[in-house]
Structures are given as structure tokens and as C-alpha cells.
Chain A
Amino acid sequence: MKLSIEDVVYVADLARLEFNDDELKIYCEQLTNILDYAEKLNELDTTNTQPTAHVLPINNVLREDIVLPSLDREKALQNAPSQENGCFKVPKVID
């Protein structure tokens, strides 16, 4: 599967990443190589095979609905690059 530069730009946009032209070229080549390697999976017929997303037979782990202590506001905000009035501060979203 040969990726085009446009494919890489599209995926980068989905991933919220940006690359310069040189990087795009390198990623294009490397991702193509890795995907070529992954093509190997298509040698296998998996029509009747269930996918395994998770190895353990655990489902719907529930606990009693009891209020437990959570992080206080100060601690939750201690790593925020930008904060104001006890809230995370983000750039303006709507003009």
C-alpha cells in the first residue's frame, strides 16, 4: 500500500500533528514500509475469527456507588500551563 503525500497530510490533520515537506516525505516512505509489512496479515483468512480487543474475560466492572475523595482543585490544576480563577484557560473558541 503506497501512501501519497496527501494521505500523510490527511492523517496528520486527524492526529493534530503538522510536518514540514522533508518530514512528510520521510514519514510517507516509512509508513509505507511499515504498512507493507503489515500487509502480511492478509495472507490469513479470518472470515470466521472473532476479534480480540481484550484478553481477559472481564466485563462491566462495577463498584458500590460510594463517594470517595478525589483530587482537590489546586492539585488538579498544578500542572496547567495556563489557568485563571481556578479553571483551565484555553484560547478563544468562538468569535
Chain B
Amino acid sequence: MELFNLTIHETIELINKKEVSYKDVVENYLNRIDKVEDKVGSILKIMGEQSLKSACALDEKGVKAEGLMGIPYGLKDNISTDGVETTCASKMLANYIPPYNATVVEKLQKSGSIIIAKTNMDEFAMGSSTENSRFKKTHNPWNLDKVPGGSSGGSAASVAAGEVAFSLGSDTGGSIRQPASFCGVVGLKPTYGMVSRYGLIAFASSLDQIGPLTKDVKDCAIVLNAISGHDEKDSTSVKTQTKDYTSNLSKEIKGIKIGVPKEYFQEGLNEEVKKSVEDAIDYYKEMGAEIIPTSLPYTEYALSAYYIISSAEASSNLARYDGIRYGYQAENFDNLIDLYRKTRSEGFGEEVKRRIMLGTYALSSGYYDAYYKKALQVRTLIKEDFDKVFKTCDIILSPTCPTTAFGLGEKSNDPLAMYLSDIYTVPVNISGIPAISIPCGFDKNNLPIGLQLIGRPFEEEVLLKVGYSFEQGTDYHKKRASI
């Protein structure tokens, strides 16, 4: 058994039994990167030397293995690392070296886990296939001709390919869950405010949330333990009680009420995806869950509202890239305004510019009420939809995506078609609630299918429990891409 195929909890057990050292683990992952990275392309920067040094130090000190101690991870390249390039996969930040760590990086450091890679992404997290990276294409480890999903495509593909034991991504409209679904791994978008956004390079501040991508649900709980909690440096982070998210995991879920919204099973949903999700529903029925057919009537408006809101926030957030304080600066310019224009036009890629344009338009005088305010009002309706359902249901179950991974290049010329890939994930961000994607099957081409579980705010432990139960009755999470 290769170490890179193991989960975090399995690895920790082996280290404790002294069967392997911390160095063995990091070395094994680095070798794996060496072997498959040419094919997968999920990594922007490998931190080999530094990570080996950290592992050797743990061995020398004889540190007890628990939690995330010595576990190598990948970090999406929009999360700031002190002294290490953080590029957002953009020419704009190609040489940017943050002068501080994101809070999640500090927290992971405290937990003893070891960063070994910064992972590829869609430029500024805008996209659903990672094809918008200005630096490289990432391939789906299950089929190299397919996209890994996005925008955290590098984070998902690196876990699926065994290049890292887990990774962090960010999810603004599905950017953790959709690539998790496409790559056959577990991906959690925590409740808005659960995990500090300090040091996460902003895309849409009212929607962005950092979360884990892991090989199974228990690993996800372990990582959530390490990264969640209030942070004074993020005024939108919430003071919650500290919980051990691993303590509630069990197969037993009798009596839990699972809502199944009809709007998530309509036209556009691939038949094989539908079948797998229905099988999951049958599993829960057998386990004694109460399945409640339900409705979220405003679902069809979520995507429109999402693209207006997220682009408006992006246009405002990305106004900071002016070529003065950090980032790319155009070489030839006539005056200050010209410097701004040239810097931004040369530094940003096509999709980023498209979203800035859309957002600027939606916020501009005369259109603010018609687009931006309208979208915020619809946001209220979508949120109320969920509030109503959660009065009678403990969680909501749906597919994560309407399809399995699509081909590289297949949707890159049609922005709207690309956006539709997020149709089941965006309502969750709009409402600020938590959701997890877990592997629930494979299509006839052996591409993974993801099951989405959506929960009440700050009830991650319920999501994790229900997801864990599914894993106890199935073995999809044990399948590894043969690359």
C-alpha cells in the first residue's frame, strides 16, 4: 500500500505505530508529485526542501502523531503565504510575495501539518474548469482529457492524484464542491463566517469561504477542526463554540429528516448522475432516514442573482489592482490613468475582465436598482426558501453538479454554458449555509459523481455525520484514480 493513497487518519495511525516516519510520509508525497505532476498539472509551486525539513524536525523531536501532525497539504494559490508567491493564477500577481500568512495557514502550522504545494486555480477564482489559469492547464486525474472543475481545480486534482494528503480551496459559488465532485473527493464549503477569510485574496467577499478537500469525510472533519474558529482579523468571522467535528461521526442516522428538492432533479440533470443520487437516497431510506420530498421554488433564479452579486463585488474588490502598491505594472504609459488602464488590461485575463465589466455595469448609475439591488432582493427570497425547508428537514440532499467532468476546451468559448455548471451549488453561497460534496458513484466512463448535502448554518457536524454514514455503507470514497 502506497502512503499517498492513505487518508489522514490512516497515515496518523501508521506514524503512531512507528511503521513510518514523518519524513517517509512527506517523501512519499513528493515522489508522487515527481511522478504524476507532468500529467495532472495541479501545482503552481512545490515546496520540497522546506517540507522535508519540517518533517525531519518532527521525527527528531519524536512528536506524537495526532490530528494533522506532519500531514502534507496543498493550498489554493489565492491563500496568502508569508514569503511564498501567491499568484491567484494571474499575471497580475505573478511575482507577488505576501508579507503575512492567512489565518488558516497559521492555524494549519499550529496543527503541525506541512504545506508542500500551492495549487492551480482559475484566475482570481473565477471559473468552473481551472482553464482560466494564466499559467497552466490542470487535468482530471480520472481522465486526463477532462477538466478537474474549478475554480479550486488544482486543490481537488492534487488530492485525487495523491500528490497531497488534503488541500484547502475557496468556494464562492461552488468552487470547492464542483471540483470535488468532478475529481471524486470530499469537498466542504463551511457556513459563511466559520473559517477566517483573513489572507484569502478577495473575489466576492459576501460569498467567499475557505474549506477542505479530502479523501474522505473523517479527514474533512479533522481539517475543519484545525481551520475553523473566530478570528479578530476577519470581522465577518463568527464566535462559535469550539467543537470536535470527528466526535459525532457514526453510521447510525435513524430518524434524520432529509429533504429532496424537486428543482434539483429537473431538466439538464444527466441521467447517470440522477441514478447515482437516487441510489444514495435509497441508502439513507434503508438506514432509517425520513426522506421528505420538498421544494425550493426560487432555485431557477439563483444563478442570475449570483452572477450579478459576485461580479459586482469582484469589480469593487479588484479595483485595488492599480499597479502602484503591488502586483503587475505596465511598462509604457503616458499618465496615471493610462498606467491604471494598461496595467489592468494587460494584467487581468479575459474572464476576470468580463466579470469586472459585468459588475461595473450592474453597479453603474441608472442600472444599480435594476440589477444589483434586484439581485440582492432575490437573494433574500432564495435564503427564505432554505429557511422554510429547514423547519421540517435536518438536511437537504441533491446532486453537486448536473453532469460529470466535461472535456478540456469544451465550454471555454461559451461563458454562460460554463456558468450553468454551478447551478446546484450557488444557492448555498447566496444563503451563507454549509454544504458538502461526497463521491456517490461513477458514470459509464468511470468519471466520479458527487452527492451534495446542504445543512443549517453552523451545523457542519450534521452534514459530516450524514456523509460519514454514506461512506460506511459504500466504497466510492476508497476508489483512487489509476494514474
B-binding residues in A (CB < 8 A):
3, 7-8, 11-12, 14-19, 27, 30-31, 33-35, 37-38, 40-44, 46, 49-56, 58, 61, 63, 71, 75-76, 78-82, 88, 90-93
Which chain B residues border A61 with CB–CB below 8 Å? 235-236
A31-B357 in contact (CB<8A): yes
Binding site for A on B (CB under 8 A): 95-97, 99-100, 192-193, 206, 232, 235-236, 238, 298, 300-301, 303-305, 307-308, 315, 319, 322-329, 333, 335-337, 339-342, 344-345, 348, 353-354, 356-358, 360-361, 364, 371, 373-381, 383, 415-416, 419, 431-432
Complex CA gap A14/B375 in Å reads 21
- CB pair B383–A52 under 8 Å, yes or no, is yes
- B307 near A17: Cβ-Cβ < 8 Å: no
Report the separation of the CA atoms of residues A18 and B388 in the bound assembly, to the nearest whole angstrom: 46
CA distance A27 to B322 in the complex (A): 22
B304, A49: Cβ atoms closer than 8 Å: no
Among B238, B324, B373, which residue has its beta carbon within 8 angstroms of that of A58?
A: B238
CB atoms of A44 and B378 under 8 A apart: yes
Inter-subunit contact B364/A14 (CB<8 Å): yes
B341 A18 Cβ-Cβ under 8 A? yes
Neighbour of A50 across the interface among B96, B315, B371, B380, CB < 8 A: B380
A3 to B378, CA, bound (A): 24
Which among B206, B328, B356 is the interface contact of A53 at CB below 8 angstroms?
B206
Docked Cα-Cα span, A41 to B358, in Å, equals: 16
Q: How far is the CB of A13 from chain B (nearest CB, A)?
A: 9
Residues of A within 8 A of B307 (CB): 34, 37-38
Q: State the main secondary structure of chain A at its contact with B.
A: loop
Given A17-B353, A17-B356, A44-B381, decide whether A80 and B324 contact each other with a Cβ distance below 8 A: yes
Contact indicator A50/B377 (Cβ below 8 Å): yes
Identify the closest chain B residue to A43 (Cβ): B301
**Bound complex: CA A7 to CA B354 (Å):** 14
Q: List the B side residues contacting A90 at CB < 8 Å.
A: 324, 336, 339
CB distance from A55 to the nearest CB of B (A): 3
Q: Contacts A71-B100, A91-B333 known; A51 to B324 CB distance under 8 Å?
A: no
Q: How far is the CB of B470 from chain A (nearest CB, A)?
A: 27
Q: Say whether A91 contacts B99, CB under 8 Å.
A: no
- Cβ A11 vs Cβ B357 within 8 A: yes
Closest 9 CB pairs of A and B: A55-B432, A51-B376, A79-B326, A81-B329, A46-B377, A75-B99, A61-B235, A15-B360, A16-B340
